[in-house]
Amino acid sequence: MNASPKVSLFGNLKSDIPSSIVVFFVALPLCLGIALASGAPLFSGLIAGIVGGIVVGALSGSQIGVSGPAAGLAAIVLTSIGALGGFENFLVAVVLGGIIQVVFGILKAGVIGYYFPSSVIKGMLTGIGIIIILKQIPHFFGYDAVAEGDFAFNQADGENTFSEIFGLFKHISIGPTIIACIGLAILLLWDKVLSTKGKFFKIVQGPLVAVVLGIIYHNVTKGTAYGIDASHLVSVPIPSDFNSFLGQFSFPNFGVITNSAVWITAFTIALVASLETLLCVEATDKLDPEKRVTPTNRELIAQGTGNIISGMIGGLPITQVIVRSSANIQSGGKTKMSAIIHGFLLIISVVLVPGVLNMIPLSVLAAILLIVGFKLAKPALFKVMYGLGKKQFLPFIVTVLGIIFTDLLMGIGMGLAVGIVIILYKSYQNSHFLHVVDDADGKKIKMTLAEEVTFFNKGAILNQLDNLPEDSSLELDVRKTRFLDNDIIEILEDFAFKAKNRNINIKLVSERGIVNNPPSFIEFFKLRPKIA
């Protein structure tokens, strides 16, 4: 599959720098929280965030994806550190897991990501958005019993997502709540009103203003009834000198490399991290306003390289992460420079101003994450998915509920299982194939779709469309097509957008006649009469 078109990394800094600051404020508490939830040193989460931003960001083919430590691996890390006899032994598994991921990329295993239906990917985005909202409500009100980054339904403190919310009413802290409300009001005002008033309000992002006000509030109210206790602030390790800073790095104990348990853990990390990354790539590509396609095999190699380096210097395992990636997109990030700059912001702030970071109220960061969560889980999407019919809505809603009441991978697995059952049932009487005919000069291509085209055909169709030459003509024949999956319609819709830039003429042939360069495939197939 063609890689994303080349872009100027330094030509979009006016968009990438502001978005990188937002991603930095989203990533900071999650890096620390995931490390805490994993039973690992806090600094290990920061290392993973830095490597994910700078190293993976530089090597990745994704322009808007952001990598770092992932909540989905926290339970694996927590269990493995104890089972392998210590953090240094676990780091060997991280390094080996990275090597395995590189091998996956070389073997072109990235194609796996194309076999997840659109309804499940949208369910994943919505489910993560809802779980972010639910998990941040206690932090918003100053109830920080559970670390940031614990996204599992059953929590480490013995509570679950909903019992934690019901229990917060006994633990509301006035100071954190006040500044969280102020921060949320600023974020909404900036997003809905001020962002349209001038360039200043686009360059200076609302989250930065909210965080600065949070720091000011903390210092002004310190020692009063409306102050914020240290337990409700960011907690970055502060080294006393350069030697103590270097002492925060851990290194793998390769003496345990022959231990079979280390290799089992390595394969587990490689499989889970690769799957989470491929799913995130699919999701972020759908969110990308420019409809760019991330080369998945290159992404696996980039992620594997990042895990090798992270493990070598004491960092947690890395994946591409939808929370950071969606925050990047929502903030207007255009290229991978946003992810890279956010990594540099992490390392610069940790080295030079950790004391300032430790003045940031967690409740303000919760307000930022609430906005991110809401934009991922807009209520209107439920209506849209319901309108697409049961074949789309059932996998979508099962994925959403599965993520909320179990965890990310379990929820996706449940949605995928439902999607496969529906497709197998629908496919019982129909065959699937894709037939492409080229003329001699390769400038006129005829693509005939089968009687039934489902998300199983997504990778092949996407590959064919992406490889069409510029200045060519595509005749798309759907006269024999009895069922066309919504995933394929979305691919055609995205291709129509890109075809204009590549000067590709599209002729759609259906039982209703011929349409040249249809303005919307979605609208065309919505109005197309159903074939019995």
Burial 207-234 (b: 16+ CB within 10 A, else e): bbbbbebbbebbeebeeeebbbeeebbb
d(CA 487, CA 466): 16
Q: Is 198 left (phi over 0), alpha (psi -120 to 50) or beta?
A: left
| β-bridge pairing 318-320 and 67-69 | antiparallel
The tokens describing 354, both together, are 């950790």
d(CA 323, CA 24): 12
DSSP of 313-326, one letter per residue? TTPPPEEE-HHHHH
Catalogue all structural domains in the chain, each as residue range(s) with its CATH number.
16-370 (no CATH), 379-426 (no CATH), 434-527 (3.30.750.24)
Contact 341, 17 (CB under 8 A): yes
Per-residue model confidence as pLDDT tens for the chain (532 residues): 444 455 666 778 888 999 999 999 889 888 888 888 888 898 999 999 999 999 999 999 999 999 999 877 888 898 899 899 999 999 999 999 999 999 999 999 888 877 788 888 889 889 988 998 999 999 999 998 887 777 788 887 788 889 889 888 888 999 999 999 999 999 999 888 887 777 777 777 888 899 999 999 999 999 898 999 999 998 888 887 778 888 888 999 999 999 999 999 999 999 989 988 998 898 898 888 888 888 999 999 999 999 999 999 999 999 998 889 998 998 888 999 999 999 999 999 988 888 899 999 999 999 999 998 898 888 888 998 998 888 889 999 999 999 999 888 888 899 989 988 887 766 544 444 555 566 655 578 888 888 778 777 787 788 888 888 888 888 898 888 888 888 889 999 999 988 988 899 999 998 888 889 988 888 888 776 554 3
CB atoms within 10 A of CB 501: 10
3-state class of 397 per DSSP?
Answer: helix
Q: Return the bridge partners of 473, or none.
A: 444, 505
d(CA 238, CA 252): 23
d(CA 21, CA 208): 7
CA dist 390 → 29, 384, 422 (Å):
38, 12, 9
The tokens describing 13, both together, are 């800094």
3 alpha-carbon distance from chain centroid: 19
Which pLDDT score is estimated for 37? 82
Contact 53, 344 (CB under 8 A): yes
Which pLDDT score is estimated for 531? 45
